[in-house]
Structure 1
Amino acid sequence: MNRRSRVRTSAAAAAALALAATSLGSATTAEAKPQEHRAPRPCPTLTVSEGWYGDNKARVDALVADHCRDKGRKPVAVFDWDNTVIKNDVGDATLYWLLRNDRVRPPRNGDWSTTSRYLTPAAAAALGDACPSRVRTLPTATATDTRCADEILAVYGTGATSGGADAFAGFDHRRMEPQYAWLAQLLRGWTTREVESFAAAARAENLAAPQGATQRVGTARVTGWVRYYPQQRDLIRTLRAAGFDVWIVSASPEPVVDVWAKGVGVQPSHALGIRNTTDHGRLTAHLKGCGTVRDGEDGMITYIDGKRCWINQEIFGVRGPAAERVQPASRRQVFAAGDSDTDISFLRDATGLRLVLNRNKNELMCRAYENGDGRWIVNPMFIEPKQRKTTPYPCATTGYTAPDGTAEPVRRPDGSVIPDQSDRVFPS
């Protein structure tokens, strides 16, 4: 190599070393620069203020703030549906639509006792006398012969025949409400998709009807409208935005609840209701079981203690007899909302906050107003709230319904009796 070549090579090497040094210096400088840390996003809060009583909104916001950054498993929130998330009852709305559109199938051979194991002989006979048997669907929409529609309405709505005889007997009053279950059982013969289409049609009619509207079914005038509570839509949205796992649990048929729950952003996978067994893709008059109750035994629905069982089984994965028992705090919902004695067990299980919409229901209001652990909050209904109950709730005598249906005192976990409570949360 000649001298000129060596000079060019040396110059090139020097330039390369200089470039490498510059690059290394830049990289070192970049690595040494402090990292910028973004401030954590604020926890979401409720945006609808109207309708909340006292400091209830602030307490809900505080619960959200306490849990919105929980690590690991999402905190669970569970809502009852009828008169908790919406005003009025989607089960009622669906039955009225079925009767107005001739969508109830008669039982095989006209034997109404096959529609519910708890139907009394008097009720089966009354239904058999009022309703034809050799038809594909019952002619309940006709205005000329309303006997069948009227008898079904009486049994479903009052638990008695049109003649006043008891329609149901022999059930556990803490696990089963046979009137509610009977609606699911009257869906026998339809597919889940068909029932969803019926529920969707009823939903459209009831949301479009003006508030206070009625409709004619048989000879009766019945409620003809439903509304979502804006406050509960906002609450569910806020909880989901905060990372809560939000569920609906209702004593209406599950395909019906699935259709309505989508209106607050809750998908069918997170909506629990009364579940029928199926046969070749069609619903039967028998029901799915929970805990110690097997499928087809028809002994437990999503009602009082049954709601606890279904929540434990479907949300927390507890199987067998254990699903019927109160679980450790780590396997229970943080938040719960309800409006009736049907909700009392799963409300009591909530570890953080229990929202009660006041419909003057005895056991529920006894426990909510006594508020032994400070976790109960009571709010008037957001639409057409109840006025003040002028007499005390009979907590010390008849506020509790025992499994056999007898009325007893409402007791604390230690067995002591809750004294009568006055109504304290009502519209001003």
Structure 2
Amino acid sequence: PTPRSVPAVTRPSTARRLRAAAAAATTAATLATLAMTAPAAEAARRSAAHCATPRLAAGWYGDNQARLQQLIDRHGGCGPHRPGRARPVAVFDWDNTVVKNDVGDATMFWLLRNGRIRQPGGGDWTTTSRHLTPPAAHALATACGPLARPGAPLPTGTPEGAACADELNAVYGTAATRTGAAAFAGWDRRTTEPGYAWLAQLMQGWTASEIRGFAAAARTENLTAPIGTRQQVGTGTATGWVRYYDQQRDLIANLRRAGFDVWISSASPQPVVEVWAQGAGIDARHVIGIRNTTRDGTLTAHLQGCGSVPDGADTLIPYIDGKRCWINKEVFRVRGRAAGEVQPAARRQVFAAGDSDTDVTFLRDATALRLVVNRNKNELMCRAYDNSDGRWIVNPMFIEPKPRRTSPYPCSTTGHTDHDGTPGPVRRDDGGVIPDQTDTVY
């Protein structure tokens, strides 16, 4: 029999096949988009919530908390973004800005109490600082010379070493000998402070790791000591406690959370500040302190330079104009003479915080906001209260704030100290003299 014919399979046209493929692709893309949208939307929601809710700790004066929040909102991770946008930089001084009291002092007192300062080579104290005067060198040699051989630690924590401890402490703390003779001479008042530098120079012979160990021991003692504690140093007493400012630690944390690149710039020794900065969430790579040169792994009595000042010249530390140089060098990678000069706004910190005339230059360099902790320092308070560009805010000290200064700051006459120590008027960027200012935030 003849087989039944099988109907032919009808194949779709090429056009219909293309339309079906396109539809399938569209459906797949839509499903993929929907699958991606949910987590993306959740991430966006979380980001928005984070940006809307950063809250600084209580305890700020006036509208300072609101001004700081505006800084975070405008320049931080919640602000406008564009490809290649650099992280905004914030720079804090350390002593009496992030903490109450001075961690350099705390370390110096620990070194004296524990006999960790070495007799200089040949017993010649002028090798510890090019600015040390002959009367100071003689006083130190007299008080300390018989106690240890060159290079060995001096027993300043013992009764027989008390006079040596007293002389060292006098030179360090008062820039004078116990008999009142000037201890330092011939330094630039805008780039260094020889007493601050001397602490770092007295650390010669130790490694940076050993100094960090000393600083950690001092930190533990000073944080656990009750507020107001006095400690025995030589035959006298000295401040024996330090505290972090909760508000400043909170501010630093919020700035970092918002994407700021946060740095510390201090005129205390580098290894010391590294130890303390950890307690505010700042790693050693973001600390700028006084930096010694090294030999065979140990610190020398010479200091690293910046800008046009070479290593070993010992004439520039992170102090007033020296802070500008070191910030430009370490944060913005400016090299050579230009590091000591004002940089374009895009290569400067947007925020800075300080408490003293030692901070005035890097505060002025900040482009958006400048926080001043009021310790009644003439030049700094003149500029902060003048507030010629509206970017200065003043806050009383968070612990044991100073009382109101009863007389105006002498801005128009002696508020500024020149390179050679000559006093003069404080001037604005346009050269105009700032009038005397009344203390209003205390």
- Give the TM bin, normalised by the shorter chain: over 0.9
Indicate the residue corresponding to 2:291 in structure 1. Answer: 275
Note the C-alpha offset of 1:50. Answer: 2.4
Query: 1:126 and 1:213 mapped to 2: Cα distance?
Result: 30
Query: 2:282 and 2:104 mapped to 1: Cα distance?
Result: 18
Indicate the residue corresponding to 1:52 in structure 2. Answer: 60
Query: 2:235 and 2:59 mapped to 1: Cα distance?
Result: 36
User: Is 1:63 the counterpart of 2:71 in the alignment?
Assistant: yes
Query: 2:62 and 2:76 mapped to 1: Cα distance?
Result: 23
2:191 counterpart letter in structure 1: R
2:116 counterpart letter in structure 1: R
Q: How does 1:79-118 map to 2 (within 5 A)?
A: 79-118=92-131
Indicate the residue corresponding to 1:119 in structure 2. Answer: 132
Note the C-alpha offset of 1:211. Answer: 1.1
Q: How does 1:124-273 map to 2 (within 5 A)?
A: 124-132=137-145, 134-135=148-149, 136-273=152-289
Contact 1:173 1:405 in 2 (8 A): yes
Give me the identity figure in percent: 64
Query: 1:232 and 1:143 mapped to 2: Cα distance?
Result: 40
Query: 1:386 and 1:192 mapped to 2: Cα distance?
Result: 35
SS in 1 for 2:216: helix
Structure 2: gaps spanning 5 or more residues? 13-17
Contact 1:90 1:252 in 2 (8 A): yes
SS in 2 for 1:96: helix
Indicate the residue corresponding to 1:424 in structure 2. Answer: 440
Q: Which moved more, 1:45-54 or 1:82-91?
A: 45-54
Contact 1:46 1:234 in 2 (8 A): no
Give TM-score scaled by structure 1 length: 0.93
Question: Cα gap change, 1:201/1:116 in structure 2, threshold over 3 Å: closer, same or farther?
Answer: same
Note the C-alpha offset of 1:49. Answer: 3.6
Question: Cα gap change, 1:23/1:145 in structure 2, threshold over 3 Å: closer, same or farther?
Answer: same
Q: Which moved more, 1:273-282 or 1:126-135?
A: 126-135
Contact 1:288 1:294 in 2 (8 A): yes
Contact 1:44 1:238 in 2 (8 A): no
Contact 2:262 2:282 in 1 (8 A): yes
Note the C-alpha offset of 1:280. Answer: 0.6
Note the C-alpha offset of 1:46. Answer: 5.0
Q: How many residues align?
A: 420
User: Is 1:398 the counterpart of 2:414 in the alignment?
Assistant: yes
2:121 counterpart letter in structure 1: R
Please, which of 21, 26, 29 is the counterpart of residue 28 of structure 1? Answer: 26
Contact 1:44 1:64 in 2 (8 A): no
Note the C-alpha offset of 1:143. Answer: 2.7
Note the C-alpha offset of 1:220. Answer: 1.4
Query: 2:262 and 2:3 mapped to 1: Cα distance?
Result: 82
SS in 1 for 2:145: coil
SS in 2 for 1:391: coil
SS in 2 for 1:360: coil
Query: 1:224 and 1:164 mapped to 2: Cα distance?
Result: 25
Query: Considering only aligned residues, what root-mean-square deviation do their CA atoms show, in Å?
Result: 2.3
Indicate the residue corresponding to 2:15 in structure 1. Answer: none
Note the C-alpha offset of 1:212. Answer: 1.1
Note the C-alpha offset of 1:3. Answer: 8.1
Query: 2:161 and 2:350 mapped to 1: Cα distance?
Result: 51
Contact 1:363 1:400 in 2 (8 A): yes
Deviations 1:206-240 (Å, cap 9, x if unpaired)?
A: 11111111100001111111111110111011001
Question: Cα gap change, 1:46/1:96 in structure 2, threshold over 3 Å: closer, same or farther?
Answer: farther
Query: 1:163 and 1:65 mapped to 2: Cα distance?
Result: 55
Contact 1:160 1:168 in 2 (8 A): yes
Indicate the residue corresponding to 1:294 in structure 2. Answer: 310
Note the C-alpha offset of 1:337. Answer: 0.3
1:392 counterpart letter in structure 2: P
SS in 1 for 2:220: helix
Contact 2:56 2:254 in 1 (8 A): no
Contact 1:44 1:242 in 2 (8 A): no
Contact 1:46 1:235 in 2 (8 A): no
1:183 counterpart letter in structure 2: L
Note the C-alpha offset of 1:44. Answer: 6.3
Q: Which moved more, 1:20-29 or 1:265-274?
A: 20-29
1:90 counterpart letter in structure 2: V
Contact 1:45 1:61 in 2 (8 A): no
SS in 1 for 2:232: strand
Contact 1:132 1:138 in 2 (8 A): no
1:102 counterpart letter in structure 2: G
Query: 2:272 and 2:21 mapped to 1: Cα distance?
Result: 67
1:422 counterpart letter in structure 2: T
Indicate the residue corresponding to 2:374 in structure 1. Answer: 358
1:153 counterpart letter in structure 2: N
Q: Which moved more, 1:38-47 or 1:264-273?
A: 38-47
Query: 2:160 and 2:304 mapped to 1: Cα distance?
Result: 38
Indicate the residue corresponding to 1:325 in structure 2. Answer: 341
Indicate the residue corresponding to 1:17 in structure 2. Answer: none
Q: Which moved more, 1:255-264 or 1:28-37?
A: 28-37
Query: 1:94 and 1:161 mapped to 2: Cα distance?
Result: 20
Query: 1:143 and 1:361 mapped to 2: Cα distance?
Result: 37
1:240 counterpart letter in structure 2: R
Contact 1:46 1:57 in 2 (8 A): no
User: Is 1:369 the counterpart of 2:377 in the alignment?
Assistant: no
1:67 counterpart letter in structure 2: H
